[in-house]
Amino acid sequence: MLELSNIVVQYGMVKAVRNVSLTVGKGEIVALLGPNGAGKTTLVSAAVGILPVAAGNIRFDGADITKRPAESVVAMGLTLTPEGRRVFAELSVADNLTLGAATRKDRAGVAEDIDRYLKMFPILGERYHQVAKTLSGGEQQMLAVARSLMSRPKLLMLDEPSLGLAPRIVERIFELMIDLRKSGLTMLVVEQNATEALGIADRGYIMASGQVVYEGNAAEMVDSEDLMEAYLGAGVH
Ligand SMILES: Nc1ncnc2c1ncn2[C@@H]1O[C@H](COP(=O)(O)OP(=O)(O)OP(=O)(O)O)[C@@H](O)[C@H]1O
Ligand SMILES: [Mg+2]
């Protein structure tokens, strides 16, 4: 469904992503792991057209999207929930959700989806008219995910959805990803919580210093202590 081939992304003269190839098949959950500064955020930002690629090719759902602007990529069904729970702080939960559907024209469908996601994230229903900046960190992350879902993605990329959240909320986020997969969503999840991410993923990639240093079956990766220590550090939980 998504095919990144030999992607290079530069910040000025510095190559943050060097020749990375990665695929996500329909219905899969793929985990993208690696230490701070590995290039994970840079890679997913380039995949959705937020950052330009210096070289390489991006295909999504049968089309070459390498040079497509982000808005058009979202309209095709490839959406990123960015790092750091970015929501429109001054807007209400309701307006944040509506704006998530900005690329859609099917008003009835948008209303249906709002109902659906308020059921999935009941806390957002309780906070519906509240300004987003007054939500807790966990609630803001739920809103960021729900807002991304409002674009009706076929493939959702989540950049560190569990970062900085309490264990109970982290667990809830992972449960949600399992539910979303059951509903037919394909996902690429960037995570520092390697064990948990591999626990729900089909396949995993490990990046370090801008390159893919390992790719494999998620269950095998999580069982390989050597691998987890070598690339992800002993501090991985
Ligand atoms: N806007 C920028 N300008 C210059 N360099 C940048 C910029 N953004 C990121 N970098 C550099 O690119 C490299 C990759 O950063 P990136 O944010 O993609 O890593 P990451 O794997 O997402 O890390 P983390 O786990 O900390 O989120 C780092 O060396 C970083 O310092
Ligand atoms: Mg990052």
20 neighbors 207 (Cβ within 8 angstroms): yes
Nearest CA to ligand 1 atom 22: 41
Ligand 1 site, residue 151, Cβ cutoff 6 A: no
Tokens for 57?
């090719």
Q: Are 43 and 215 a contacting pair, CB within 8 Å?
A: no
Cα distance between residue 156 and residue 81, in whole Å: 7
Ligand 1 atom with the smallest distance to the CA of 41 is: 22
Q: Write out pLDDT tens, residues 202-226.
A: 999 999 999 999 999 999 998 888 8
Residue 125 pLDDT: 96
Residue 24 confidence (pLDDT): 98
> Structural domains in the chain?
1-43+52-77+153-169+180-224 (3.40.50.300), 87-152 (no CATH)
**Which residues, given as ranges, of the chain have pLDDT below 70?**
233-237
According to the model, what pLDDT value does residue 233 have? Answer: 65
Residue 5 near residue 56 (C-beta atoms within 8 A)? yes
Which atom of ligand 1 is nearest to 34's Cα?
21
pTM: 0.93
CA distance 228 to 237: 10
